[in-house]
Structure 1
Amino acid sequence: MEGLLCDEDWLSTSAETHGKRLSLVCVGAKEDEDEEQAAVSVCMAKEMSYMPEPHYKEFLETQDLVFVRLRCIQWLLKCRSRWNLSHGTVFLAANYLDRFISKNRTKEWKDWMVELLGVACLSVACKFHETYPPTLTQIQMEDYMDHVFDESSIERMEVTLLKALDWHLCCPTPYSYIHLLGLNLESSLLMANITELLVGAVLDHRLMPFKPSLIALSTIWCSLDLLPPITSQPSLSYFMRLFNHPHKDEMMKCRAVLEAVQSSRCPQSPTSVLMKDQSY
């Protein structure tokens, strides 16, 4: 997976240049599209092996774990801001968290157990994904959760986590698909909207049943709605071809949930309205 990640930057932060860039993506050389489609296909072929166990969403709801999971993911995001971690690290940690809980449904989960697991997940994700990972002491400096754990407890939890996941850490996430396609999340207002949607997706348990590729494509789809049709339609067609999802009904369901997540987080911003009306 790491070998497939693309470091290509979008070439401008201006809306005009970004619109042109999207058009260039859509009419690029067929060989480039074939390479990107092959890379996406590799991730899609293995993503089911890295998802939580079936009916995980329902388990969270019946065990009253929705809120504590939400707080844990919020803490991951706060740590990302404090230590300038990548979005990829947060999505990996969230994936580890959900997979571990879904594999341990017989346990009577307490809030402190989820918090300890969250610290261990972030620690492992940082070691796997960051060049200079923060220490366990630094990780817990973000005063958001209710408990502080000693290093030995966290390290034991890390070992338990790694064994439960069978050391399968390089997992496709919605963010990894965005990164794979060379979409730099800091390069424009459009990419900022994708970031906001991705964060909303990882926070909301209602998207648990959907594959990461579906979430990534739905995020791109929703964000392209901010552009004029002359730009958004060719771009959407390009990304649809890349992902080539056979189950269109699932794609529509995923987009509907993502739109509900978006509307529940905040109303449409004036910036989004202006972008919709702006010509490129």
Structure 2
Amino acid sequence: MENLLCSEVFEENDCDHRNGISFEDCEEAFAFFLAKETTYLPQSAYTKLLQINGFIADARFKAVTWIIKSQRRMDLCDETVFSAVNCLDRFISLNLQCQGWKGWMFELLSIACLSIATKFNETSAYLLHEFQEDLEIWFAPRLIQRMEITVLKSLEWRLDSVTPVSYTHLLTQTFNKTLLHQSTHLLLHLLLDPKFLEFHQCVVAISSVKALVPSSEHGSSFAHIDTLISQDRKDDLIHCQRLMRKLRDETICPPSPVTVLKVNSDAVFSLKMNAGLGSSRKRKREEREDGII
């Protein structure tokens, strides 16, 4: 995978003419997402659960890692990945019995969430066996379908989720298209870090874009964005940006006063993929069917 972010200067474009959308349209869409996003957040205690329950946190990390790897293998769109992770997080936060699950149950949940997300975001249909090509464990299609129904019922069939990438298309309208791709890559990395689950999707999205554009180039575009969120979100925005800077400085970015964040995503992923789902040994199908429904 190429460098996640590159040292490139972003030039503001005329939003009204070059992209076919006005600031008024952006503002209206942004307000729509703001009003809608709280419906698709995990339960408020979920972040705390991930902090105190190492098994759940590890299972989530492996599941998100597998979903991201599946995107590259199956050439899935970004919306599918974020939608699948959103389904995963909401389901776990709603179901306390997940704390007693075995590891393979989370693998099955991951496949079900990704399968559901592809149905709502992809133009091509995928067979259930295609999701399992890089797994040593093989789940019967009927078992995956049963898990899909369990997830759908638990989420009350509310699947049109608002995610950070819902906002980035709007936030990057006045910048070079490269910014959209780089922001999305950054957000993919942030999916692996549960600390960012405590923030609303709009906060994570705005923070990711601001992290990529030097403050000297924020200009009127960011001033306009800041007017779209409430004061309490602005306080969260400051906290989120601090976390992103810390992540950048400690993990993925050498300090640079003049360039935009530069990250080698292969290096980051190589540290994390060792914990992937494919390392589990094969199990008997009878064991996999025990305790799901």
TM range (shorter): 0.7 to 0.9
Q: Which residue of 2 aligns with 1:171?
A: 161
Q: Which residue of 2 aligns with 1:191?
A: 180
CA distances 1:27-81 after superposition (whole Å, capped 9, x unpaired): 99xx922221111111111211110001101112322221221111111111111
CA distances 1:122-143 after superposition (whole Å, capped 9, x unpaired): 0000011100032211111124
How much has 1:233 moved relative to structure 2?
A: 2.8
Paired residues of 1:89 and 1:125 also in contact (CA < 8 A) = yes
Residue among 184, 191, 194 paired with 1:202 = 191
Paired residues of 1:178 and 1:216 also in contact (CA < 8 A) = yes
How much has 1:240 moved relative to structure 2?
A: 1.8
CA distances 1:227-258 after superposition (whole Å, capped 9, x unpaired): x71x32333213223x3232122111111222
Residue among 212, 224, 229 paired with 1:244 = 229
Q: Which residue of 2 aligns with 1:268?
A: 254
Q: Which residue of 2 aligns with 1:219?
A: 208
Q: Which residue of 2 aligns with 1:3?
A: none
Q: Which residue of 1 aligns with 2:221?
A: 235
**Two-structure CA RMSD over aligned residues (Å):** 2.9
Q: Which runs of 5+ in 2 are unaligned?
A: 1-6, 262-293
Name the CA distance, whole Å, in 2 between partners of 1:155 and 1:80: 20
Count of residues in Structure 1 that have an aligned counterpart in Structure 2: 251
- After the TM superposition, which segments of 4 or more aligned residues of structure 1 sit over 6 Å from their partners? none
Q: Does 1:138 align with 2:127?
A: no
Listed as ranges, the matches of 1:74-85 within 5 Å are: 74-85=65-76
Name the CA distance, whole Å, in 2 between partners of 1:245 and 1:37: 14
Structure 1 pair 87–265 and aligned structure 2 pair: CA distance change class (3 A):
farther
Seq. identity, %? 30
Paired residues of 1:94 and 1:121 also in contact (CA < 8 A) = yes
Name the CA distance, whole Å, in 2 between partners of 1:88 and 1:176: 8
Q: Does 1:19 align with 2:36?
A: no
Residue among 39, 42, 45 paired with 1:55 = 45
Q: Which runs of 5+ in 1 are unaligned?
A: 1-13
Paired residues of 2:171 and 2:206 also in contact (CA < 8 A) = no
Name the CA distance, whole Å, in 2 between partners of 1:217 and 1:172: 14
Q: Which residue of 2 aligns with 1:102?
A: 93
Q: Could you state the TM-score of these two structures normalised by the residue count of structure 2?
A: 0.77
Residue among 148, 151, 165 paired with 1:158 = 148
Paired residues of 1:75 and 1:142 also in contact (CA < 8 A) = no
Residue among 51, 70, 80 paired with 1:89 = 80
Name the CA distance, whole Å, in 2 between partners of 1:235 and 1:26: 13
